[in-house]
Amino acid sequence: MTEVLFYHLERARLEDVLPQLVQKTLERGWKAVVQTVEPDRLKKLSDQFWQWRDDEFLAHGSAADGNAQLQPVWLTTSDENPNDCNIRFLVDGAQFDDPAGLDRLIILFDGNDDGALAAARDRWKSVSSQGLTATYWQQDERGRWIKKAESGSGDTQPESDPDR
């Protein structure tokens, strides 16, 4: 069954968190789709992935590049899954309604944006009502990700490292 992870971005920017999560995905041998709502964001993400580190880039592609099946990470504005991904990342309020077949659906949202926060709360309720396991992650003051909640379990003990 698909795990749904909510990442509440307050202390870190999407541009800092997303490449780290994508890198961990690739290290597991999984494929990913990163879905956004704005075509301009695709270009920014692509540029960022090419320049992620001085000695390393994140291999990826989009419709502009083609060869979707060969791409370990696919950037898109639609709900397509042309590379048979294991994980889908939703950013900038992107919507994806059917996580069946995914190992994980990861929703990253800006906790400093009231609209994004309200949308994430609504999505949490929707995911929970579908009977999916959902976890909510928030950074502590040292930048570590701490699990703050899990659907269906009430309050949880804080737990770090969602990439267990």
DSSP secondary structure of 107-154: EEEETT-HHHHHHHHHHHHHHHHTT-EEEEEEE-TTS-EEEEEETTS-
Tell me the mean pLDDT in the region 15-36: 95
HSE (side-chain half, CA atoms, 13 Å) at 104: 21
Average pLDDT over residues 99-111: 94
- Predicted TM-score (pTM) of this structure: 0.89
Confidence of residue 155 (pLDDT cuts 50, 70, 90): very low
Q: Are 6 and 109 in contact (CB under 8 A)?
A: yes
Q: Please list the residues that pair with 160 across neighbouring strands.
A: 146
pLDDT tens digits, residue range 53-98? Answer: 878 889 999 998 989 999 999 999 999 999 999 999 999 999 998 8
Cα–Cα separations (whole angstroms), residue 74 to 11, 144, 149 = 26, 27, 29
pLDDT at 40 over 50: yes
Distance CA(44)–CA(56), nearest Å, equals 17
Measure the CA–CA gap between 109 and 116, rounded to whole angstroms: 6
- What was the pLDDT predicted at 75? 96
Contact assessment for residue 103 and residue 30, using Cβ atoms and an 8 Å cutoff:
yes
Mean pLDDT, the chain, rounded, equals: 89
Q: Is the pLDDT of residue 158 over 80?
A: no
Per DSSP, what are the bridge partners of residue 73?
A: 32
pLDDT of residue 154: 46
Q: Exposed e or buried b for every residue in 30-52, given b needs 16+ CB within 10 A?
A: bbbbbbbeeeebbeebbebbeeb
* pLDDT given at position 56: 83
Give the pLDDT confidence score for residue 159 in this predicted structure.
52
